Structure 1
Amino acid sequence: MIRVLLADDETMIRAGVKAILTAAPGIEVVAEAGDGHEAVELVRRHRPAVALLDIRMPRLDGLQAAEELRRTAPETALVMLTTFSEDEYIVRALGSGVSGFLLKSGDPYELIAGVRAVAGGAAFLSPDVAHRVINHLGTGRLSRAAEAKERLAPLTGREREVVALVGAGLANGEIAARLYIVEGTVKAHVSAVLARLGLKNRVQLAILAYEAGLVDPAA
């Protein structure tokens, strides 16, 4: 059972997200919070596998709560809930150690898939979020694409396959099954690539995969 904490200051949003998650087999919402400070306290108390955090919340916003939870509850995977109006927040959050980004207005199946993915150790980016992040990076998009391709150029063919599947939101076990290799080898590839490229987490690696054209944001 995947235990989830849900934090959002809008009661209707919490109710809707909770209804979607509790209807999905294998997912349980163990706590709800109306602000970032309460979210931090409840994560510490319940130790859920996944915490869904609204980016904009009173007392502590989602980014501040994520930074605190990275220090005090690193075993909980963090997913940011966002809207189309919060691109700058998303860009800021890329370096905060979160495992994924989901749109509040997205497909319910995407929400369920995202929770399951990050609970399994994967990064998960809503395709719409990934597309907007890359667009938000601005007029240098073509140069950034070239830079991303150049950064990935020294990787082996197998490493590039792994990076592409990380970008597609697959967990290590799923990547192993897809490539017919053992999960430990996938983990070693991901760790080596993160270290070689100077990246902090799988979300940053997924964004790089999108920028380099290894994943289609519109897919």
Structure 2
Amino acid sequence: MSRPRKDLRILAGVVVAAFAAACLQPAQAESGVLAPASAVQAREAKGVKTAVFAGGCFWGMEAVFSHVKGVTSVVSGFEGGSRADAHYEIVSTGTTGHAEAVQITYDPAVVRYDQLLQVFFSVASDPTQLNRQYPDTGPQYRNAIVPQNSEQVRVTTAYLAQIKKSGLWKRPIVTAVEPNRGFFPAEGYHQDFALKNPDHGYIRMWDAPKVTALKRGFPGLWKPDFTRG
């Protein structure tokens, strides 16, 4: 069963939380899994870089990475489909090829790409869930990494191999590495959603615990301020 639409005009946040709690209980990402540091560190040139990750509802992904030092922007949006269909109501049908994703702008002098991957697998999403993340179901909620350059391909490939051997997860890791087909920002009301709606039922139930897990598991990368997209 999929969760209710995120549109605030349809359901109040408390109803969303009650529905989600009835369907599924919080799993790994909510309590946090400390993935190992990457054995292969990213070697990135100076200057701002971009990473794109898909891992379920983009509200939670945005909330996590907006609290990482060195991140200067996080934008919620869509990857994997065409620009023409990159609209929330259409993507939510699960027929467009898109995944909800975030585009992260970061300074590699402060936080490396491999460290962003570690955060992604530790607290931002559960890499063992195929075409879903907790109460959200469908291919638009798949777990995927979209490398933006050859260095990110190198680091991603090595890190996936490393964590698959780690034995930290009881189920197989299904995170896909997808080609860069373009990233398309979501509608304005999705941007900075957790910052603007901290008491929304979905945020409190599923996303606030991820932010708490980030603070607890990565004190060296944690920053208290929310980086606006």
Q: Confirm or deny a common fold (TM above 0.5).
A: no
Question: Structure 1 or 2: larger helix share?
Answer: 1
Higher relative contact order (CA 8 A, sep 6+): 2
